[in-house]
Structures are given as C-alpha cells and as structure tokens.
Structure 1
C-alpha cells in the first residue's frame, strides 16, 4: 500500500522544501479546494508572523491575491505562533501555491476547481480490495481458507464452520463483524445517496475488468457474503474470527504463522455471539446482548435488498438479503445489548458499549424495505433511546471503540421517512454534536473538533459525514467552514503537513512507513488507506510495544497535545484500518464531481 520514502519527498512538500531557508511553515489541503469552499491556510512560526502572503497561479506565475495573515489567539501548540491566511474569495480555477511575500516560504501546489477531489472514493475502494480475506486480488493469492472452528456456540467447541471471506481488519489479519457490518452498510448508503458517482473498473473478485456493477457494490457484496456466513441460521450469529494470537509480526496472509491449536496457517478460532462476556484466557470482554452486531448487519442487509432489487435487477439475492435483515433484526430484539470484541493474551479489544443506534438504523431501513409501520415506530423508540448520549461528539474522551460506529447513520435514514416533528428531533441530535465539537474546535489553532483518542481520523471523517448529512436533512449550510477545516486536516492542514490517506494526493506528502505487512515485506504501495491518525500524547506514552524504527521526520512539529509518526513501529497512529477507510467513502464521494 505504500512505497518507501525516497528522494521525491525533498521535492513534493513545499512546507518542508524551504525549512532551511525560513522557519515559517504553511499548511494547506494538498488536494485543494472546490470553487465555493472555505479556503483557509494555517501558517506558523516560533516568532510572530509579520508579512503578507500571496496566492500564486502556478501556470502563469501571477499573483492572484495578496492576503494579510490574521493572528490566532489560540492555544499555542508546540510553542508556535499561528496565523490564518484566508483566500476563500478566490474563485479562479487552476493550480496554485501560497508564498510568503518577505520570507519566500512556499506551500506545496494545490488545485482550486470543481474537480479538486477527483474520484478518490475509488482510491479508497482500492485499499478495501487489498484487505480482502479469501481471494485477495491485490496479492493474487488465497488465504485463510480454513476459517474457522467455533467457540461459545450452540455446537461443540472446535466444530468447523465456513467463515472464509470478509476483510482483514487493519495491519493484522483478524476479522470482526463489529467493523465489517459498519463498513458494508456505510458503502451501501454512500451508493444510495450518490449512485452516479461510482465507476466500474473491476469484477466481483476485484480483478481489473468491468462487470457492469459499480465497484462500490462489488466491494459491499464481499462484505454481505461474509455476513451471510456469519449468520448461518435465524438464531445464530458469529462475531469474530481469530484473535490477538495473530500478532506474531508481519506476515503475508497465505503464510500465516499464527497457531490457534491446530498448527500454523491452519484453522482459526471463530467466536459465536452469545451476548455474554467471553475470553479464552484471563482477558474477558464485556457483553450484554448482540443488538449492536445484529442491528448493523440488518441495516446492511435491508439496504442491499433494495439496491439489488431495484438497481441490479437481482431478485434472488435481494430476497436472500431481505430474509437475513428480518431475522438479524429479530435476533437483536431478542438480545438487546452489545457484544464486544475478544482478546486472548493482550488487554486491547473493541470496547463497543452502544446498540440502540444500530437497531434504529436497522428498523428505519426495514421500514423502507417492507413499509410495515411497526418498524417505523420501533425506529423512533430506538432513536429516542440513543439520542446524543451514545455519541462521542458530546464527550471529551472515550475508550477504544466504546461509542461505535462513530456516526449514527440511523438518524439520517429515519429522517427520510419520519413525520415533520420527529425530523426536527433527529436534526437536533446531529446539531448538538456538531455544536459541541465546534466549541472544542474554537480552542485550537487548527479548528479541529475531535478528541484525539485512538483512531482519531475515524472520528474526523465521521464528523465531516455528520455535517454533510445534517446539511442534506436541513438545508442548513452554516457549518461548511467548520466541515472544511476538519476535511482539510486530513489532507495536510495539520502540524505535520501530511495527508492521512496513503497515496493521496499523488506526488504529495502522505503516510509511507505504514504498519502493514505488504509495505514491510513486499515494499508495496496500496493507496487509499486511512491511517489511525494522531493521538493524545498521554495515550501514546502509555501504549505497549511502540518503538519508532527511524528518526522522526516530524520531530520539529510534535507538540504537547498530540503526536503522529509516519513510522512502521507506531501502530497507534500509522496503521491503516479497513473500517476507517470504508467510513470515509461517503465523505470522499460527496466532494467528488
């Protein structure tokens, strides 16, 4: 997914290019800006900035605008003095860079125009295909064909069940229904909202020839097929394949050296969702039910039933998904509560503690599928139960994946079919989270509204998505500058001047030394992977097993609040994740043209 750092880095990032000539740093969105976007660069230095900045057209060399830098009276991260350079009034299309009039400090080149964001939702899908388990088209190999043998199920332990397929979760090779159900449903919703913005370049196996189906649906079906396997009977649901016994160093998937009791590269543990605490060793998960998993999976199946019936004209698969949606939802009703991920020899797991949001989403999608009023009423009941209390957006911290998914998509889905009064209630839930994060953003120079807990980039893309959906629900565009600041952070308007997505933009500054086997063992670059992102310094200092393998190229820009390292040894900030990438697809599609 990434190539090694090379001489190009000396050329590609203007913010580092002039580092010896000036201590002024310029941070912009390296991809660029849509014509009507809020366009604000951040400039900083150890000393107060007393010069104007010029927006220069790269093609003509002419100055399009000269802008006075506005000092920011914010928390001075890292001891720097910060200013803003606002060029929002520029509507000219082209490639530009920002230059300090006195210092000569320059930003990297960026695009202004309706095509600034290209079609990078397709780039994210490229990374998703690289995460496939079973047949992996990027590596052209088949892996983990023997997944798996059961634990905690109604059948005897070690009974074989076919749970092959799905996606590897991150740089490791575990498979979770927790994350895969969300990834699948998110892609399907992105397609429903923007059906004309996806391409058809690969077939169902991810091989490079078209099959008449948008690639986002091919990828979603990879997830749907695995969810069907994880739900083999109306009253049965598996939730995880493999555990942290997987963590035996970097390895190519078809040569997995992990041993679950049947030898290396053999069967792997498959955990049945009981709704009760689980753990084969001393570390026990917490669990009160299965509705988080059943609800999200039901939402994905209901979305798929509509799409495969209406758009793909495949009534047989649509009916299969409809039956699964109904039985999964019923399972969630019978076992309300949450099932967490399982660990084996380490304390880390997915600590999800919410479930009403998932049942709201499922009920809303089932109402749209069946038109049965009972689903609509149940969706409203679950919405009132979840309100904003289950959202990280109104909290200052949370445990790892405690409040998952990081956006309640059920509010948007239900809003489409709710009465006028209830629409206002749902809009209020989104609005409360946006306003809370906006208040947090006003306290820092980069105007970022998230807490920097582990996987902060997932929170950031979810916040952008929440503003997008709020705009669609209400027509209220007052938060567009706030949304642009969150988005721009992801592509370079941050202390380190780096994109948080591998390979984007091409020729830009982006994660290279990523915590993945294809990079470490095969020197492969697979673009489109969203890395975990910066974490609070206090979190970083207390995680186990973190060792930087190379000198920190961003050392001058680390600060007392948050850290980020483009280093293989930092799994906390530089490991791309499957669900984080999938959860960015709606955002990327929205800005594409």
Structure 2
C-alpha cells in the first residue's frame, strides 16, 4: 500500500510517498505509459502513532502526470506549480453549504439545496418570556446548532487567511461586491451581532434543547430554539472576533466596521466589570456545551485585537498583564485561543519589536516548533502528532500545528518549518496510515460519509466537496466507532460512516485552519 497526498505534489518541493513494504516503486508517464524510473523505498522506520513499520520514497519528479505502481497496485499522481487551487476554493466554498436561515438554491447548492431554516425566534433560557431573532450565520457542524466560541475560532482563521493572502482574496468578489471570503465571514458576523445582550454580555449558543435526529433535513428541524445563558468565554471571544473583523472590513464597509468595533468594545467593557461565569449546559439542554473553565486566553486575544484595531494603549496594558499569566501563548484551539492574541500582536505594525514581550513570544514560538521537529524525527509520517494527540477533532490539531510552523517560517525563515507544514497538509490529503483524504471530494480515497445531517437525510455517497472530517480519535467516543474499531493504533481510530460523529463529523472550525493551509500552499509558490 502506498500513502501520499492524493491531490498533488508541488513542483520543486519534497514529494514523499509512504509505503508499507520495501517492494520497488515504478513510475510511468501517464501520457505514453513509458517507464520513467524505479525507486527502492528507504526504511523501515517504526511509527508509534500507527504502530507500523513503514518505508518512504522521494519521487523527485518534474511537473506532469504519472502513474506509480507497487506490487501491481497503481496510483495516479500530479506534479505541478499549483496543484491545490481547486481544493482551496472548495474548502472555503464549503461554508456556503452551512448557511442557516436563507435559501440555498439548487443552481448554487445542487443536491444540498433547501429553503430558509431555523428562522423562528429563540427563547432566552433564563427569561422564557423574551424572544430574540438569532437567525442567520452558519450551522456549526453536523448538527444545526450555532455556538459563539466555535465561530470565534473559525473566523480567526479566515481573517488570518485574508490578512496573509490578501492579494488573492481581494480579487475574488462575491455577489455583494465584497471579496468573497469577507462576504462569507459577514454571514457569521451578522449572526454574532444578534447574540449580544443590551448590557454587552453575549449568549453562549443557540440550539434546540436536544440534537435533532441524524437524518433530519434543515427545513424540517422545527424544534424550539433556545438561547443559552451568557458566558465569560463567549463575551471575550465575541470581543476579540468583532474587533479583528472591524479592522479587516474597514476599507470595504466603514459603517459596518464601526458597528463591529462598537459591539466589541461594549463586550470587553462588560467583561471587565466582572460577574460573568464560565458556561455549563443548563439541565434541559444536551447539545454541545463548548465549556471552558477560563476566559483568560480569550480576554488576552481580545485585548490584542482591540489594540491592533484601535491603537488604544488601554488594551496594550491589559494584553501585557494577561501575557504574564499565560502558561502557553501559542494555542490555536477553541478551548485556548491565546495563540491568536500572540499572532495579532506579532503582526501588528504598532507593536514595538524591541519590547521584551514581543521577543519572548518569538522565543517561545521557536522553542515550540523546534520541540515539534524533534517529534517529527521519530515519526514515519513526518508528523508532530503524538499518540495522545489523536483525540476528537485531531485533524484540527494537525492543521493548527501546521499553522504554527508557517508562522515560525514567516518569522525566522527556516525552511524546515515550511516543509513540516507541508508534511502536515499531505497527511490531511492522504499521507496517513489509512490512505484516506480527510477532505471530501478530493483524492482517490476521500471521505464519503461524513456526519452531516443534510447528507444523512439524502442517504447519498456524494458529500459536499471541501468538508474536513474530524479524523482519528483514540478515545472512540461514539457507539459506531466502539463497535467497528478494535485494538487500533491512534492514527487508525477512524471510520468513514455517518454515525461516527466522534471521528467523522465536520465543523466550521476544522475547515477554517485548512483553508489557511491550502491558501498558503497555493499562494506561497504562485510566482516560483
């Protein structure tokens, strides 16, 4: 068996293929079937995350289309200067299919067309006589809930994508005149604005009280919507997200930008007044909790984005105070968003490069990625993932690690960091022990049955293209995975089935970091 990036290889970059045997690998030109060369795999190397001894082959091919064979198994591959354009577009386009409260016409959404859904007002949990319009936004995942902290992670990655690859995305217009990426982000921002209470605090989520059945169509999900209580993490995440968005939207929609910033400041002010608590699901609600015992990281992030957007030293003071309290300022997951605060500060032209805090962030970034390089040395798949990292949503951790490597490459210029990021991207697109591309619609062996209710309703094997599956989860936290997977290594704890929500669900904050990765490897080499 050969395992590789099934979408393609970049011209001039490493073209690593993983094999489970030492049998020769033969390469033919596709156009005339001519034999080009035969390669002998190197190894074996024991890979702990897959509990397998594996071999590797470096192809070293010029641009073109090839067939590679081993033991009579054939694989078609492409080498080009831009093999990832289509997958980059699809990863971003996937957010469109998650839009809530509006018609997705058949001409645009194909099989997944539907009318407006979840348009009824939601009752406020702790004040059931109050009804609030929280329509719009994106469905968070395979269910139809909408969660503020999850939105924060997704928008943070998309705005970072727009910042770092603005030449690409400024020139891709949507239907409203905005750049398409910002048009899609605005869908979620409009929803978030509706989640802010009059005093500035922000409701944690809007969902039904229980998850709808797996096969329920969006329009048919008419159970009562409930706004769960406000929380400190939702309020801080809201402040950070809207402050950053206000900066990015300013050249395009100045009045809208002002509205976002006003709401962000109002949330931050409310947060500083105190009295907001971490979120815990109320007794009658069993949908995703997104609980977080500390809002330190979200407040740190909010102070960084407010300082970057406004230049107000008040926020810089808060940022410095909170930095001293962080155990690790580089996390990029929804539970710990501190890394986005650090990125915002590093990329802020107002920041003093000679300030000790600036240099300390760089020092800690360098130490983190160098430690990850040591893990990679022992990995047959060239991953920084350890056995314990293969948990629910492990593909987000793969993508987050890759973003850290890219940030380190941008800061220090060490080519090892960029290559590490590419190896992680390759993993998501098929260079893994299962030979599975975790991006729907891309690769010869891509995910077909993600945990996504509209597809379960249709019962088809044609998923929305561009969704990122959650990936291997050693804890097997759903009944189907527990039944199907026995004694598997962490990297193999995955099953491509509708019912495996703990390994094969999709969500906005797993797609968003992969949008960033794909954009990087599409744009960084565009002129080479």
TM-score exceeds 0.5: yes
Q: Counterparts in 2 of 1:131-142, with a 5 A limit?
A: 131-137=98-104, 138=109, 139-142=113-116
Q: In the alignment, what sits opposite 1:486?
A: 424
Unaligned runs of at least 5 residues, structure 2: 524-528
- TM-score with structure 2 setting the length: 0.87
Q: Does 1:586 align with 2:521?
A: no
State which drifts further: 240-249 or 573-582.
240-249
Distance 1:345 1:151 in 2: 10
Report how far residue 120 of structure 1 moved. 2.8
Q: In the alignment, what sits opposite 1:459?
A: 397
Cα shift readout 1:91-121 (whole Å, capped 9, x = no counterpart):
x111234333xx3433x22222221111433
Q: Counterparts in 2 of 1:141-220, with a 5 A limit?
A: 141-152=115-126, 156-198=127-169, 203=174, 210-220=175-185
Unaligned runs of at least 5 residues, structure 1: 1-24, 204-209, 257-264, 276-289, 393-400
Q: In the alignment, what sits opposite 1:377?
A: 317
Report how far residue 134 of structure 1 moved. 0.8
Q: 1:93 aligns with which of 44, 63, 68?
A: 63
Q: 1:545 aligns with which of 479, 484, 495?
A: 479
Q: In the alignment, what sits opposite 1:27?
A: 3
Q: Does 1:110 align with 2:77?
A: yes
Q: Counterparts in 2 of 1:278-357, with a 5 A limit?
A: 290=232, 292-310=233-251, 312=252, 314-335=253-274, 339-340=278-279, 342=281, 344=284, 349-357=289-297
Q: Counterparts in 2 of 1:119-130, with a 5 A limit?
A: 119-130=86-97
Report how far residue 469 of structure 1 moved. 1.6
- Please say if residues 17 and 431 of structure 2, whose CA atoms lie closer than 8 Å, have aligned partners that are also in contact: yes
Distance 1:61 1:513 in 2: 34
- Please say if residues 352 and 402 of structure 1, whose CA atoms lie closer than 8 Å, have aligned partners that are also in contact: no
Cα shift readout 1:62-101 (whole Å, capped 9, x = no counterpart):
45554331113324676743111123x44x111234333x
Secondary structure at the residue paired with 2:210? Answer: helix
- Please say if residues 351 and 402 of structure 1, whose CA atoms lie closer than 8 Å, have aligned partners that are also in contact: no
Secondary structure at the residue paired with 2:468? Answer: coil
- Please say if residues 156 and 340 of structure 2, whose CA atoms lie closer than 8 Å, have aligned partners that are also in contact: no
Give the structure with the higher percent helix: 2
Secondary structure at the residue paired with 2:425? Answer: helix
Q: In the alignment, what sits opposite 1:241?
A: 206
- Please say if residues 170 and 577 of structure 1, whose CA atoms lie closer than 8 Å, have aligned partners that are also in contact: yes
RMSD, aligned CA:
2.9
Report how far residue 556 of structure 1 moved. 12
Q: 1:509 aligns with which of 430, 434, 445?
A: 445
Q: 2:505 aligns with which of 575, 578, 581?
A: 575
Q: Does 1:413 align with 2:344?
A: yes
Rate the CA distance shift 1:390–1:212 in 2: closer, same or farther, 3 A: closer
Corresponding pairs, count: 506
Q: In the alignment, what sits opposite 1:43?
A: 19
Q: In the alignment, what sits opposite 1:72?
A: 44
- Please say if residues 338 and 355 of structure 1, whose CA atoms lie closer than 8 Å, have aligned partners that are also in contact: no
- Please say if residues 28 and 36 of structure 2, whose CA atoms lie closer than 8 Å, have aligned partners that are also in contact: yes
- Please say if residues 478 and 502 of structure 2, whose CA atoms lie closer than 8 Å, have aligned partners that are also in contact: no
Distance 1:78 1:413 in 2: 36
Report how far residue 351 of structure 1 moved. 3.4
Q: In the alignment, what sits opposite 1:428?
A: 363
Q: In the alignment, what sits opposite 1:534?
A: 472
Secondary structure at the residue paired with 2:169? Answer: coil
